[in-house]
Amino acid sequence: PQLPLYAVANRRGLAGVAFASLKPGQMRYAGLAERDGIAPGIAAYAGLRRAPEGVADWPALLEFWRRNLEALATEYAAGDARVAPKSAETCKRCHLAMLCRIHSLGGPPQEEVRDDA
């Protein structure tokens, strides 16, 4: 949640969020933006195929991030430490399976995407 947190904390004039991927031979930017042309590798959010349901544009995405981050912070402050991956695909790519409690709780989620994180 680091980049969404930075984004919602300083929304004024924000045109995009990105990070640099520094793999040997594959150095590039990755991210999302309000519009095309921000930087190479930064996609316009409006054209994203895997957008959360009901989150059609950049302002809606920032609001979606704000709501989800506030919910996450509230859970954390209340001591809620459930293992809650966003999708089963998350568990497939994770390198920390030996340390994770998800399997003791009945395995990864069956639904494809959670709405709250």
Q: Which residues fall within 8 angstroms of residue 18, CB to CB, at 6 or more apart?
A: 3, 29, 30, 31, 32, 33, 38, 39, 41, 42
Structure tokens at 57: 């544009």
The pTM score is 0.72
User: What is the predicted pLDDT for the residue at 117?
Assistant: 46
> For 12-70, what is each residue's pLDDT tens digit?
889 999 999 898 988 998 899 999 888 888 989 986 788 888 899 999 999 999 999 99
What pLDDT does residue 74 have? Answer: 94
Q: What DSSP element (H or E) covers 30?
A: strand 26-33
Secondary structure in 3-state letters for 7-26: HHHCCCCCCEEEEEEEECCE
Grouping H, G, I as helix, E, B as strand and the rest as coil, residue 66 is helix
Selected residue with higher pLDDT from 75 and 116: 75
pLDDT tens column, 102-116:
766 665 555 544 455
